[in-house]
Structure 1
Amino acid sequence: MDQTGVIAGPPKSPWGSVAPSAPSCSLADVMSEQLATQLEEENHDFPTLPDPSLDPLSVDLSEAETTSDMVLAKMLQLQFDKEFDDQLKREEKKFNGDSKVSISFENYRKVNPYEGSESSEDEVDWQDTRDDPYKADKPVITPRKGFTGKGKNITTKHDEVVCGRKNTARMDNFAPEVLVGDGLGMDLKLSNQVFNSLKQHCHSEQRRSARLHDKREHSTAEQAVDPRTRLLMYKMVSSGLLENINGCISTGKESVVFHADGGSFEDLQVPGEVVLKVFKTTLNEFKNRDRYIRDDYRFIDRFSKLNPRKVIRLWAEKEMHNLTRMRKAEIPCPEVVLLKKHILVLSFIGKDHVPAPKLKDVKLSSDDMRDAFYMVLHMMQVMYQECKLVHADLSEYNMLWHEGKVWLIDVSQSVEPTHPHGLEFLFRDCRNVSTFFQRRGVGEALSVFELFNTVSGLDISIGAEENEAEFIAEIVALEKRNEDHVQRRGKKNFPVSMEDEGPPFKPDADD
C-alpha cells in the first residue's frame, strides 16, 4: 500500500484536544525576562480551572474544560459514586421488600443523600424542617431548659419540646386510628402524661375489641347467631324441614325467635308457618338460669354448671317437655315440631307472618278482658293440678291474644310444684296476673292471696291486714315441709314421668 499520501501529524489524545507543544528553546531564552513576560501574557488566555481542593459535588463540572486530568478524574469518580449509590438503593429495596423491619445501606453510600435531594421522606429525620414551606421562614430557637451556666444552650432528649414532638411521631406506631395531624402547619407536641394516657387507652380498646369479637363469635347475640347456630339453621333449610327463614320477630333475655316457612321432613307434620326459638348460648343476660333447672328432678343428673352449652340444651329440652304436657291438657300454647340442640321449632301463633299481639298491647273491651281473666285463671289451675307445672314467669308479656283466646308461651323456666321454690314462683305469677287485670278495670279479678289459694287448692289463712310478708313466710315453711317429704319418698315416686313427652328428639353424639 502506498503510504506517500499519509500526512504525518501529532498523535490524537483520547482525553480530548491537545494543545500544540511549545517550541523548544535554549536555557538562555528561558532565563530571559522577555520570555517570562510573554508567557505571563499567554497565561491570561487560558480558562481558569477549579480549585482542586474544592468539593467536586459543589462545582458544576459539566461546564469546565476537560483538558485537565484531575478535573476529568473527578467527573468520572462522581459518576461512578452515583451509579454505586443507585445500585445500593436497588439492593436495599430488593433485600427488605415489604418487611416492617428493614436494613439500610446508608453508611456505604458515596454521595451525601441530603445534598442530592433525591432521598425519600423516610430517609430524612422527622425533625428536619428545611423543606417545610410553613416553617422555612421561621427561625429555629434552641430552648433553654434543663441546664444553667455554661450549658444553658444545650438541649437533651428530655427537653419538653423535643420529647413532645417525638411522642407525636411515635403515635403512628401503635395507634393509627388516632389522628395526630399531617405535619403541614401543625407542630403538635404531646407531653409524656398525655402520650402514656393515649397509649394505655388504645391498648385497652384493642383488648376490649378482641374480647367482644371473641364473644360474638362464640355466643348468640341479640338478633344474631353464632357460626354453630347458623350451621344448624342451614341444615334445617337444606333438609327440607324449612322452606326459608324470614327474619327475627322477637328477642328476650333467654332466646331469639325467628319466623320461618315450614316444609316437609320425613313423617313430621310441619305447619305452614313456624318459629325457631334459638336459646342464647351466653348466660350474661340470664345469670340465675340454673335456679330453675338445678333442683328439677328431671334434669338433676344431667345438670352441669361448668358447661354452659349443655345447660342451654337442657333448657330447650325442658321447654319441649313442658309444652308437650300443656298440649295434652289442651292448654292453648305453641306446638313443638322438632328440637335440635338449642333450637326449638314451634308452631307460629299468628297469621300471614304477623305474630299475635301480647296481652299487654291488645285493646279489648271490658267483657273480653273479663273473659281473658277467667281463661288465665282456668289455665293456671289446669297447669298446676293436671300438668303439675308452675309457669314461674307468667305475666302480660308471656300471654298472647289470638283468635279470641289467651295463649301461653315461654315455659322453659316452668317447674313442678315439688320444686323447692315452686310455691314462691306461683305466688309471683299470681301477683303479676292479679295486678294486671285489676289495672285493666276487671272487677272480678281476685286478689293475689285469693288467686294463689284458688290455683293451688291450698287454704293458707289471710289476715285482716293481708300482710304479704307473713303470707310468703307461710309459703316458705310449707315448701320446707314438702321438700323433706319429697326427699323421704325419693324421685321415683313422682306422679309425672318424662316418658313419651315430646316429638322425635335425637341427641347428637357429643351430647
Structure 2
Amino acid sequence: MEQVGIITSEARPCPWGAPAKPINQCSLTEVMSEELARELQLEEESHAFPGEALTDEGPFLTSENLDTSSDAVLAQMLQMQFDKEYDAQLLREEKKFNGDSKVSISFENFRKVNPCEDSDSSGDEVDWQDTRHDPYKADKPTTTPKRGFIGKGKDITTKHDEVVCGRKNTARMENFVPEFQVGDGIGMDLKLSNQVFNALKQHSISEQRKSARLHDKKEVSTTEKVVDPKTRLLLYKMVNAGVLETINGCVSTGKESVVFHASGGSMEDQEVPDECAIKVFKTTLNEFKNRDKYIKDDYRFKERFSKLNPRKIIRMWAEKEKHNLKRMQKAGIPCPEVVMLKKHILVMSFIGKDQVPAPTLKEAKLGLEDSKAAYSQVLELMKQLYHQCNLVHADLSEYNMMWHDGKVWLIDVSQSVEPTHPHGLEFLYRDCRNVSQFFQKCGVPETPNERELFNIVSDLNITSDNQVDFLAEIEALEKINEAHVQNHSKKVATFQRDDDGPPRLYDE
C-alpha cells in the first residue's frame, strides 16, 4: 500500500493570505553591534522618507566624517536639520496657499536657511562679477552703509548718499538771491551737508527780507536827503504850475524835516519870493516819535487827531506850522513867510542869500555886543510870542534861532502850543532854561536864570527859590488852567478860526 504523502503546513496554502515572515531572533551581542544599529537607522529612514536615496548625506546627518564627541557640534547639526525640515514645510504651505493664482506670495522672509547656502557651486569657483579682489579697485574704500543696513540693495547709491546729497546741495546754492554772495565754491567739488545748507538757506531768506524792508521803507517814506515818489510828484507839480522855477538841492536836515532851496516863480493871488525854502516833513515817526503830545491836546486839531494814520498826522503837523507862522507874521515877529502848503510840503521864504542859509545862533559865533543885542531881541520875541500870538515855542534853543541881517529869526514852530495846553507852561520853562543857559555861556552878564526868565515872560510871579518847588507850582497852575478850559468849553457855541491870526472864542 502506497504511503500517502503528508501535507505539511508549509506546503498547504493559507486561506487567509500569506503568512507573516518569521521574526529573526538575535542575540544580545548583535543588539549591541553598531552595524545593526546602522541598518535599523537606514530602515527607519526609508520608511520616513520614501523615494529618497539612503546616502550618508541624506535627511539625517551622520557622524562618520564629523567629530561627534562635542555636544555643541551635535546641537548645530540638529538645528540645521530642523531648519531644513521647517523650510521644506514652509515651501509646501506656500505652494498650497498660492495654487494656480497669477498673483502669488512668498514666504522667503520666514525661511530659516538662506537659499544661497544651499548652492551647489564650489567654494573654489570665483564669480566673474566679484570685484573685491580687483587690484584696480582696491584703492577705493568701501562705504559702510549707515544704520546697519545689510539687506538686498545695500550697495545701491540713493539720493540720501552723503556725496550725492552734498554735491546736490552745493548746486542748489545757485538758486539763492543775487544779493547773497556764495563765493566761488560752486565751481569746486564742494559737498555741503543738509545742516549747513539749511542754515545758509535760512540766512539767505532773512537777508532778502531785510533788504526788502529797507527798500520798501525808502520807497514809502521821506528820509534824510531823500524823497519818496509821492513827494517827488508834488514837487514836480509845483514846478510845472510855475510856483517854483527850479529846485536846487538840500540845505539842511533835521529830526522832523528836510529843507530844500528853490528859486521862486509866480502865483496869481500872492507874490513868491526869489528864494524859497521847501520844508518836507518826514513821513515816518521813527525820528521824532513824541509829536502826538504837541498836537493831540491842541483844541485846533484835537477833533481831527484821533484814528489817523501817520501820513495824515504829518500833514496836520505841517498845517500846524503854517498857522503858527501866520500868527507870528501878523504880530511882526521875524519868521519865514508862508507861500503855500501842499499836504506835507510847506513852501516858505528863504532866510539867507544866494542859496546859503543864514547861520543859527549856535553857528554864528557872535561877539559880546552882538550877543547882548541877540539876547534882548530873544527876550522881546518870547514876550510877543506869549502875549500877542498866544503861543509857546516849545522847542526854543540856539538851534532854532537864526542870525540874519543883524536880527534874530524864529523857525521850526510846528510843535508850538498855546499856554492853555496841559503842558504849555512846562514847555515855556524848558525854553527859558535853554535860552538862559546859552546866553550865560556867551558871557551876557544881564542874563537871568530860567526861573527869573520864566516870570519875566509869563508875568506869573512864582516865588519858589528851588527848581523842584518851582516846577510843582507850574504843574498846579496847569491843572487850574485845564479845569478852567474844560468849564469854559461847555459854554462854547462856535469856534471861529482865522488863518491870519489866532483862533477866537465866541460865547452865545
**TM-score, L = length of structure 1:** 0.66
Query: What does 1:39-54 align with in structure 2 at a 5 Å threshold?
Result: none
Following the alignment from structure 2 to structure 1, what is the Cα–Cα distance between the partners of residues 300 and 141? 83
Task: Specify whether residues 254 and 183 from structure 1 end up closer, same or farther in structure 2 by C-alpha distance, changes over 3 A only.
Answer: closer
Q: Is 1:178 equivalent to 2:181 in the alignment?
A: yes
Following the alignment from structure 2 to structure 1, what is the Cα–Cα distance between the partners of residues 371 and 142? 86
Equivalent residue number for residue 386 of structure 1: 388
Equivalent residue number for residue 415 of structure 1: 417
Equivalent residue number for residue 345 of structure 2: 343
Residue type at the aligned position of 1:203: I
Equivalent residue number for residue 470 of structure 1: 469
Deviation at 1:498, TM superposition (A): 2.7
Query: What does 1:182-193 align with in structure 2 at a 5 Å threshold?
Result: 183-184=186-187, 186-193=188-195
Equivalent residue number for residue 307 of structure 1: 309
Deviation at 1:179, TM superposition (A): 2.2
Following the alignment from structure 1 to structure 2, what is the Cα–Cα distance between the partners of residues 479 and 421? 7
Secondary structure of 1:297's counterpart equals coil
Query: What does 1:111-150 align with in structure 2 at a 5 Å threshold?
Result: 143-144=143-144, 146=146
Equivalent residue number for residue 52 of structure 2: none
Query: What does 1:361-400 align with in structure 2 at a 5 Å threshold?
Result: 361-400=363-402
Residue type at the aligned position of 2:479: K
Q: Is the 8 A contact 1:277 1:343 kept in 2?
A: yes
Following the alignment from structure 2 to structure 1, what is the Cα–Cα distance between the partners of residues 416 and 149? 85
Equivalent residue number for residue 222 of structure 1: 224
Tell me which of 291, 294, 301 is aligned to 1:292: 294
Equivalent residue number for residue 358 of structure 2: 356
CA-to-aligned-CA distance 1:277-303 (integer Å, 9 cap, x gap): 111122222222111111111111222
Deviation at 1:214, TM superposition (A): 2.2
Equivalent residue number for residue 482 of structure 2: 483
Equivalent residue number for residue 404 of structure 2: 402
CA-to-aligned-CA distance 1:362-403 (integer Å, 9 cap, x gap): 111111112111111111111011110000111111111111
Moved more, 226-235 or 204-213: 204-213
Deviation at 1:206, TM superposition (A): 1.5
Secondary structure of 1:334's counterpart equals coil
Residue type at the aligned position of 1:226: D
Equivalent residue number for residue 444 of structure 1: 446
Q: Is the 8 A contact 2:392 2:418 kept in 1?
A: yes
Secondary structure of 1:285's counterpart equals coil
CA-to-aligned-CA distance 1:7-50 (integer Å, 9 cap, x gap): xxxxxxxxxxxxxxxxxxxxxxxxxxxxxxxxxxxxxxxxxxxx
User: How large is the RMSD of aligned CA atoms in angstroms?
Assistant: 2.4
Deviation at 1:473, TM superposition (A): 1.9
Q: Is the 8 A contact 1:250 1:256 kept in 2?
A: yes
- Percent sequence identity over matched residues? 68
CA-to-aligned-CA distance 1:52-86 (integer Å, 9 cap, x gap): xxxxxxxxxxxxxxxxxxxxxxxxxxxxxxxxxxx
Q: Is 1:282 equivalent to 2:281 in the alignment?
A: no
Moved more, 315-324 or 213-222: 213-222
Equivalent residue number for residue 258 of structure 1: 260
Secondary structure of 1:446's counterpart equals coil
Equivalent residue number for residue 86 of structure 2: none
Secondary structure of 2:210's counterpart equals helix
Secondary structure of 1:301's counterpart equals helix
Task: Specify whether residues 183 and 282 from structure 1 end up closer, same or farther in structure 2 by C-alpha distance, changes over 3 A only.
Answer: closer
Equivalent residue number for residue 247 of structure 1: 249
CA-to-aligned-CA distance 1:418-476 (integer Å, 9 cap, x gap): 0011011111111111111122222221111111111111111222xx2x233222211
Equivalent residue number for residue 7 of structure 1: none
Query: What does 1:39-118 align with in structure 2 at a 5 Å threshold?
Result: none
Following the alignment from structure 2 to structure 1, what is the Cα–Cα distance between the partners of residues 350 and 379? 24
CA-to-aligned-CA distance 1:240-260 (integer Å, 9 cap, x gap): 111100011111121111100
Task: Specify whether residues 166 and 483 from structure 1 end up closer, same or farther in structure 2 by C-alpha distance, changes over 3 A only.
Answer: same
Task: Specify whether residues 325 and 157 from structure 1 end up closer, same or farther in structure 2 by C-alpha distance, changes over 3 A only.
Answer: same
Residue type at the aligned position of 1:248: C
Residue type at the aligned position of 1:171: M
Secondary structure of 1:371's counterpart equals helix
Equivalent residue number for residue 45 of structure 2: none
Deviation at 1:411, TM superposition (A): 0.1
Following the alignment from structure 1 to structure 2, what is the Cα–Cα distance between the partners of residues 496 and 404? 39
Gaps of 5+ in 1: 1-138, 503-511
Deviation at 1:182, TM superposition (A): 5.7
**Segments of 4+ in structure 1 off by > 6 A?**
151-154, 491-496
Equivalent residue number for residue 267 of structure 1: 269
Task: Specify whether residues 317 and 227 from structure 1 end up closer, same or farther in structure 2 by C-alpha distance, changes over 3 A only.
Answer: same
Secondary structure of 2:303's counterpart equals coil
Q: Is the 8 A contact 2:331 2:388 kept in 1?
A: yes
Task: Specify whether residues 495 and 366 from structure 1 end up closer, same or farther in structure 2 by C-alpha distance, changes over 3 A only.
Answer: farther
Q: Is the 8 A contact 2:374 2:407 kept in 1?
A: yes
Equivalent residue number for residue 83 of structure 2: none
Following the alignment from structure 2 to structure 1, what is the Cα–Cα distance between the partners of residues 484 and 142? 91
**TM-score, L = length of structure 2:** 0.67
